[in-house]
């Protein structure tokens, strides 16, 4: 069942954490540049910089849900929108990006 955020193409940190703990099958894509990833990385992430995403779409499973994230969620929101136009079944932007993930991890 989709939450209100998921219906809008977004996923909250807590929802993504639930997906990860439940072993749900989905694509998790970090579109940050390599130098941005040095600070924090999520497990099981495909690293595809924003400038390379169009050339990498063929390597991703379009049938399973896809979660896109960046530093703050702004760039990933644009990429998620583009991926929907490329016929990905379910694409979600991580609200607040990795910054929000780290904030919630430090302040549960």
Give the tens place of pLDDT for each residue, 51-95: 999 999 999 999 999 999 999 999 999 999 999 999 898 999 999
- Rounded average pLDDT over 27-36: 93
Please tell me the pTM assigned to this model.
0.90
Neighbour-count burial for 44-75, b at 16+ CB within 10 Å, e otherwise = ebeebebeebeeeeeebeeeebbbbbbbebeb
Superfamily of domain 8-106: Rhodanese-like domain (3.40.250.10)
Nearest alpha-carbon partner for 88 in 43, 27, 25: 27
Residue ranges of domains in the chain = 8-106
pLDDT reported for residue 2 = 62
């Amino acid at each position: 069942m989709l939450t209100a955020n998921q219906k809008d193409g977004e996923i909250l940190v807590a929802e993504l954490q639930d997906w990860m703990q439940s072993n749900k099958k989905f694509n998790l894509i970090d579109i940050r540049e390599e130098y941005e990833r040095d600070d924090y990385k999520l497990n099981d992430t495909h690293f595809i910089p924003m400038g390379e995403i169009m050339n990498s779409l063929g390597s991703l499973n379009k049938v399973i849900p896809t979660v896109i994230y960046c530093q703050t969620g702004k760039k990933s929101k644009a990429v998620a929108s583009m991926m929907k136009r490329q016929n990905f079944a379910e694409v979600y932007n991580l609200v607040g990006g990795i910054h929000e993930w780290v904030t919630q991890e430090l302040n549960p």
